[in-house]
Structure 1
């Protein structure tokens, strides 16, 4: 890895190194509630909707007390729709409210409401983990990528996780695209925030340009 790549990575991390979980008010740990809230956030972010809106909707669900599968399943469809709408998540609110309810029931029935049991069933196999996660309604390949990017700091078996969207951001910044190479640019604990920052660079070319200029100046 070059000194320039390390400088660019450090600049990106300093300027935009904040996970989407953090933005949604989730203190991510390997415990049931934060992991479930991350599943919900990944579902919301995977729709064709702006990330800040998805993050706001996730916060509104939490503010409504809907923080775990039992409460999600116990909430009425309208209560879920209303919470999503309060966060501005209106285009997909009705479909998503149904998917979240169905997903909560599946987690309760199959894993007793604990996402860690899904992980245990995967038995350390990232491919198997992806397949099991995609069985949750509303969590397709894009949503699974989001979940794994964020959870890699607490589930070591999925590290490094820099998917195609993160690689797109890396290319804009002139960084290597391979997961292993990107992981080598930051500390292990910083991988989730670095991945999120790369995604921001992929979504907004002005972010990438701002970081490149700051890295060149050493600011």
Structure 2
């Protein structure tokens, strides 16, 4: 049956263990295009808007061809606005369209459009990587945290990455909240999905109750 924590983690992952990148149709690998699409998704998720809307907007940007910095920068401002609007991302569409264009141009100018070069510049220092990410327009602390939570599965130096929102979800579930303690509850490959599931629990308090009930009933496995 496992310990209480093990049952809780199993129930959480079974029900909500899907990364936001997966929801947006991104098959995350350490290659330029999926990393860039994740970065765009992190920008969209960092606004005060429902996660489902941000995910759909990311899908619409990709469907419109804006899957890499060159195509994002090459699109017109109105094309970016239209794609965001199609995804329901209307409250912040004009500002975000500008930020996405400016951010794409910065990536092209400084890193040749390849986010892995930013990683190389950080030279294995997660703190430096956070600083470099913050230089991108529209990517504040929340957006950086989202990007790092999701990318920790392919960039080992970032692991473990369980930010404040993930810790909030862990506390609601009766799990330890320290990053190292949370990391020990799952394998490294499952860390991004676990972090995303914890965030969902923090955002929707009913999830915590559902998962705890399932764990008590032994339905996690």
Q: TM-score range by the shorter chain?
A: over 0.9
How far apart in 1 are the matches of 2:39 and 2:14? 26
Aligned-residue offset at 1:7: 1.0
Paired with 2:165 and 2:49, the residues of 1 have a C-alpha distance of 15
Query: Aligned partners of 2:204 and 2:149: how far apart in 1?
Result: 19
1:80-135 alpha-carbon deviations (Å, 9 max, x no partner):
00000000000000000000000000000000000000000000000000000000
Contact conserved, 1:38 with 1:147, CA < 8 A, in 2? yes
TM-score norm. by structure 2 comes to 0.98
Structure 1: distance between partners of 2:132 and 2:6? 35
* In 2: Cα distance, 1:146 partner to 1:50 partner: 14
SS of the residue corresponding to residue 160 of structure 1 reads: coil
TM-score normalized with structure 1 length: 0.99
Residue 41 of structure 1 and its aligned partner are, at CA, apart by 0.1
Partner of 2:201: 201
- Indicate if the aligned counterparts of 1:10 and 1:186 stay in contact, CA closer than 8 A: no
Structure 1 vs Structure 2 CA RMSD? 0.7
The 4+ residue runs of structure 1 with deviation greater than 2 A are none
Written as runs of structure 1 = structure 2, the 5 A alignment for 1:124-203 is 124-203=124-203
**Cα deviation, residue 209, structure 1:** 0.6
Point out where structure 1 has 5 or more consecutive residues left out of the alignment.
Answer: none
Equivalent residues of 1:130, 1:144 under 8 A apart: yes
Q: What corresponds to 1:89 in structure 2?
A: 89
State which drifts further: 2-11 or 143-152.
2-11
Name the residue aligned to 2:12: 12
> Is the partner of 2:98 in helix, strand or coil?
helix
Q: How many residues align?
A: 218
Q: Is the 8 A contact 1:17 1:194 kept in 2?
A: yes
Deviation at 1:19?
A: 0.1
Contact 1:126 1:157 in 2 (8 A): yes
Structure 2, unpaired ranges of 5+ = none
- Partner of residue 48, structure 1: 48
CA contact (8 A) 1:81 1:93 kept: yes
Tell me, what secondary structure is at the counterpart of 1:37? helix
Aligned equivalents of 1:159 and 1:15: distance in 2? 23
